[in-house]
Amino acid sequence: MLRPRIIPCLLIHKGGLVKTQAFKSPKYVGDPINAVKIFNEKEADELVVLDIDATANGVEPNYTLIAKLAAECRMPLCYGGGITTAEQASRIIDLGVEKVAISAAAVANPGLLTAIANAIGRQSVVAVLDLRKKTGLLAKGYEVCTHNGKTIHKIDPVTLAKTLQDAGAGEIVLNSVDRDGEMKGYDLALAQQVREALRVPMTVLGGAGSLDDIGALIRACGVVGAAVGSLFVFKGKYRAVLINYPTTAQKDEMFRAARV
Amino acid sequence: MIRIVDYGVGNIQAFVTMFKRLGIPAKRAHTPADLADATRLILPGVGAFDHAIQLLNQSGMREPLEAMVLRQQVPVLGVCVGMQMLASGSDEGVLPGLNWIPGRVRAFANTPEAEHLPMPHMGWNDLQVKPGAKLFTGFEPQPRFYFLHSYYFACDDQAHVAATATYGLQFDCVVSKGYIHGVQCHPEKSHHFGAQLLKNFAEL
């Protein structure tokens, strides 16, 4: 039986590991390599590492850090942040990374995903969509953001997800800006809507506050990727830093309850 | 010495790292000369079937590999597209494969059982291991491995199937014919399950 993927998502800011809320106020939570070691021991399904400085500062991916992460990581690793060319993507894959995540550069030019897929295979190409609920009187639906939520694109998220899939993405990650760090559950309606439109695997990020929230996502979307930030780095209502991850038995129980 | 065939595709570094952790000597092979000291071979691969075959042909290592595997009987483990290359050919391309294990690579999308499922088949899946499969000596029942692929190996002869997995349909995910082995899943990224499989291969 193919299992849903429960995926810790780590954010890199100024070389350290941070956790944000609504894409703001990054809180230092530790050393990235140390976190990878802990998730190795806990046998996490996959790991996503996003450098939230690279695109915002217009710099290239930090290959030295990526090489260290890849050498340490015993599970499939997806790296994102600052990738704008197929050459950069190939270089990252050669360092021992399984997948590269592209956001801003793909939204600006979906054709980039075609070039990257031709270079490394579409199974290794992940498109990340940062989505925010539209605000204002009578506003409905979502808008797509890039550059840590600072740039808004007037395009329908479902249409864009399909465009990026057709261009060469082998996986789509939906990242909710509003729910980032809130720990009040995933946006299930949005996830279901996008799931129905896609034929590639989908991963949802933003909002997980408990294993029940992950179970709810799996009930809504079936075999899906559930990416998790705060829940796996904080413990308790005072958000003390403690890296954690469910056991295989806990995950199996969750999947049984969700009738995967 | 285990040599990991580096012909231009595949996550070579992940194998180097994994064998280092296991304390098993392993190095990349870029040229035919690098293959000379190999007592075991890993044939990795990702991406499109034809692209991988073309790069292997261009690397100059195909003929020495065939000599080592088919004549000197050096044990080999194909991984992902490296496993698919062991077949006679693939529905993904037009070029012939190595044809070391009789079978053909087929697309999930062309099967009624899997055509409606998300592609690629991505994530952790259970293996049904055939009794006596040497790569799985000492394993717990139903080990879990990480998969990432849209095409699967269909063996002509059931005797060459070492394990199956199910994604819509049951497919051959580990194949063994004597000292020639192939795994569709990724032992280099499958935690203790993968480490055990690679250790078993090194000790065959």
CATH number of the domain at B2-203, please?
Answer: 3.40.50.880
Angle at B33 between CA B27 and CA B35, to 5 degrees: 45
Is B117 in contact with B125 (CB distance < 8 Å)? Answer: no
- Which tokens sit at B160? 């060459």
pLDDT of residue A197: 96
Instruction: Name the catalytic one among A53, A130, A180, A213.
Output: A130
Q: Which helix (H) or strand (E) holds A193?
A: helix A188-197
pLDDT grade for B100, boundaries at 50, 70 and 90 = very high
B121-125 average pLDDT score: 98
Plot region of B23 (φ>0 → left; ψ -120 to 50 → alpha; else → beta): left
CB spacing of B118 vs A170 below 8 angstroms: no
In one-letter notation, the amino acid at residue B166 is: T
The residue of chain A with its CA nearest to that of B10 is A94
DSSP state letters, A134-175:
--STT--SEEEEETTTTEEE-S-HHHHHHHHHHHT-SEEEEE
pLDDT of residue A238: 87
Is B204 in contact with B75 (CB distance < 8 Å)? Answer: yes
Tell me which residue in B120, B167, B189 faces A74 most closely, judged by beta carbons: B189
In one-letter notation, the amino acid at residue B174 is: V
In chain B, residues with a C-beta closer than 8 Å to the C-beta of A225 are 123
- Give the C-alpha distances (Å, rounded to integers) separating A217 from A49, A128, A258, B110: 21, 18, 9, 29
Q: Which helix (H) or strand (E) holds B87?
A: none
In chain B, residues with a C-beta closer than 8 Å to the C-beta of A42 are none
- Alpha carbon B18 to its chain centroid, in Å, reads 16
Task: Report the percentage of chain B scoring pLDDT > 90.
Answer: 93
Q: Which helix (H) or strand (E) holds A37?
A: helix A32-41
Residue B171 has pLDDT above 90, yes or no: yes
| Interface ipTM | 0.94
- Give the C-alpha distances (Å, rounded to integers) separating A257 from A4, B49, B182: 13, 39, 35
Is A105 in contact with B102 (CB distance < 8 Å)? Answer: no
Active site residue B80: yes
- Alpha carbon A254 to its chain centroid, in Å, reads 21
In chain A, residues with a C-beta closer than 8 Å to the C-beta of B120 are 122-123, 170, 200-201
Instruction: Name the catalytic one among B30, B51, B188, B203.
Output: B188
The residue of chain A with its CA nearest to that of B150 is A123
CA–CA distance, A241 with A235 (Å, rounded to integer): 6
Cis peptide before B187 (omega within 30 of 0): no
pLDDT of residue B57: 96
pLDDT of residue B47: 83
CB spacing of B148 vs A123 below 8 angstroms: yes
In chain A, residues with a C-beta closer than 8 Å to the C-beta of B125 are 1-3
Angle at A6 between CA A172 and CA A76, to 5 degrees: 70
Interface of A to B at Cβ within 8 Å reads 1-5, 40, 43, 45-46, 70-71, 74-76, 93-98, 120-124, 170-171, 198-202, 223, 225
Residue B49 has pLDDT above 90, yes or no: yes
Output the CA torsion A34→A185→A191→A200 (10° steps): 20
CA–CA distance, A14 with A226 (Å, rounded to integer): 26
* DSSP for residue A75: S
- Shortest distance between the Cα of A95 and any Cα of chain B, in A, equals 6
Backbone angles phi, psi at A41, to 5 degrees: -60, -35
DSSP state letters, B104-169:
EEEEGGGSTTTTTS-SSEEEEEE-EEPTT-GGGTTPPSS-EEEEEESEEEEESSGGGEEEEEEESE
pLDDT of residue A140: 85
CB spacing of A201 vs B125 below 8 angstroms: no
Is B85 in contact with B192 (CB distance < 8 Å)? Answer: no
Residue B22 has pLDDT above 80, yes or no: yes
CA atoms lying within 13 Å on the CB side of residue A81: 25
Long-range CB contacts (within 8 A, 24+) of A213-216: A213/A183, A213/A184, A213/A185, A213/A186, A214/A6, A214/A254, A215/A254, A215/A257, A215/A258, A216/A185, A216/A186, A216/A188
Q: Which tens digit of pLDDT belongs to each residue from B51-93?
A: 999 999 999 999 999 999 999 999 999 999 999 999 999 999 9
Residue B10 has pLDDT above 80, yes or no: no
Domains in chain A, please, with CATH? 5-257 (3.20.20.70)
pLDDT of residue A214: 98
Tell me which residue in A45, A74, A122 faces B124 most closely, judged by beta carbons: A45
CB spacing of B125 vs A2 below 8 angstroms: yes
A140 CB neighbour count, 10 Å cutoff: 7
- Shortest distance between the Cα of A74 and any Cα of chain B, in A, equals 5
* pLDDT in single tens digits along all 260 residues of chain A: 999 999 999 999 999 999 999 999 999 999 999 999 999 999 999 999 999 999 999 999 999 999 999 999 999 999 999 999 999 999 999 898 999 999 999 999 999 999 999 988 899 999 999 999 998 877 889 999 999 999 999 899 999 999 999 999 999 999 999 999 999 999 999 999 999 999 999 999 999 999 999 999 999 999 999 999 999 999 988 899 999 999 999 999 999 998 87
B13-32 average pLDDT score: 95
